[in-house]
Amino acid sequence: MEIDDMRDDEEDRDFNTFRLIDKEIKIVSLISKDGDSYVVKCPHCGHIIGVEGEDSTEVRGSQYQHKRCGGWFQVNYTARFVKELE
Ligand SMILES: [Zn+2]
């Protein structure tokens, strides 16, 4: 019973959960723009984050690490540009 209780506590801490998967590189298939910067939705935690890149050809195919959750992702070469990310 004590072990189950501890596990429940850890699930509430997003940081711990994401540390377990931060080595996995996930693929992002949608990109958007916020002002002058390209933005994507982090596939690990769901936050919208800005990514470096002069244009969409530079963003596509690039790998980034989301500092906040530590998760790596790669923007798909065929990532679709959308006006707004959900
Ligand atoms: Zn993230």
What confidence tens digit (pLDDT) does each residue in 52-74 have? 999 999 999 999 999 999 999 99
Residue 86 lies in a domain: no
Helices (H) then strands (E): counts for the chain: 3, 5
Using alpha carbons, list the distances in angstroms from residue 46 to 4, 20, 26, 40.
27, 16, 12, 9
pLDDT exceeds 70 at position 6: no
pLDDT at 24: 86
Q: Which domain holds residue 37?
A: 2-81
Residue 27 lies in a domain: yes
User: Domain count of the chain?
Assistant: 1
How far apart CA 16 and CA 2 sit, in angstroms, is: 19
Of the two residues 31 and 17, the one the predictor is more confident about is: 31
Cα 53 to middle of ligand 1, angstroms: 18
Cα 65 to middle of ligand 1, angstroms: 8
pLDDT at 10: 46
What is the average pLDDT score of the chain?
83
* Radius of gyration (C-alpha) of the chain in whole angstroms: 15
pLDDT tens, position by position, 38-50:
999 999 999 999 9
